[in-house]
Amino acid sequence: MSPLQVQLASSFEVISVDWPGFGDNPKPEVDWRPEAYAAFLHHLVTTIIPKPFATCAAGHGAIYALAKAAADPGSMGRLCLIAPTWRRPLPTMTGKPDATFQWIVRIVDLPLLGSMLYKLNVNRFMLRMMGRGHVYADPDWLAGARLTEKLRVTNSKGARYASVRFVTGELDNRNRAELLSMATRVPDPILVLYGAGTPPKSKAEMEALTELKNVYAVELPSGKLAVHEEFPSDTASTIKVFLMAKELPAGQVRSGGEKASKHSNLGKVDSS
């Protein structure tokens, strides 16, 4: 999130945090669960940053932010959801139930075998392959210093415990119906931003959100699941317009791609 943070810092005071179990610091051996992340987010917006003006969250983290905003209206400020998806990686790729992959978690938790299995699946080659597949629009974007930075995160001590639970779907316990229900309970406007190249199954979830009256959707012409990382300037400029607008237009808003013609006035909102 740091490239986006730099862009937004010209207009706002911006604070970013790593979700527990992720980031480049050493992590404990913990059986991470959705309840732990919900509790962390509650602590963040009640004790560390009480009632922020706005919250920007991407991917699966965006669903946790949406759930908190629905349960405690006003606690998250204006929501900016970037490529929000609840789709569990392995279950989505294989079409198999979540429970199918519980054995992978148990093996990765083992002291020696687990560490070896994790390193076989999270290395320079595998990261680049996954990045090309569904994360970055430019197949060569994740290379050089960027790849080194990613490896520093994946190779940090204890990284495998949260990572394997994320990949197998144990950190996501939502579905589309719950997603839409939560969004309708948020009284404030919600920005949903995603790239035109977003993988179809995740994109379908994002487009379902755009049909809601309180959601303002912007589809950028390029980008996949890490659109904010690959295109931080475009992402930041869209977020700034949304957050600085004195009044938001009624109805759904889209810009970028072929769907822009229906509603494309978000960029014209008075942001003085």
Q: What is the pLDDT of residues 248-259, one digit of tens each?
A: 654 444 544 334
Neighbouring C-alpha atoms within 13 Å toward the C-beta of 19:
24
Residues belonging to the chain: 272
Q: Are 188 and 160 in contact (CB under 8 A)?
A: no
Q: Are 37 and 171 in contact (CB under 8 A)?
A: yes
Q: Are 235 and 4 in contact (CB under 8 A)?
A: yes
Q: Are 156 and 146 in contact (CB under 8 A)?
A: no
Domains contained in the chain, CATH given: 1-272 (3.40.50.1820)
Q: Are 205 and 217 in contact (CB under 8 A)?
A: no
- Name beta bridge partners: 54: 78
Lowest mean pLDDT among 74-83, 154-163, 196-205, 263-272: 263-272
Average pLDDT over residues 92-111: 89
Residue with more model confidence, 209 or 266? 209
In this prediction the pTM is 0.89
CA distance 35 to 31: 11
Q: Are 240 and 218 in contact (CB under 8 A)?
A: no
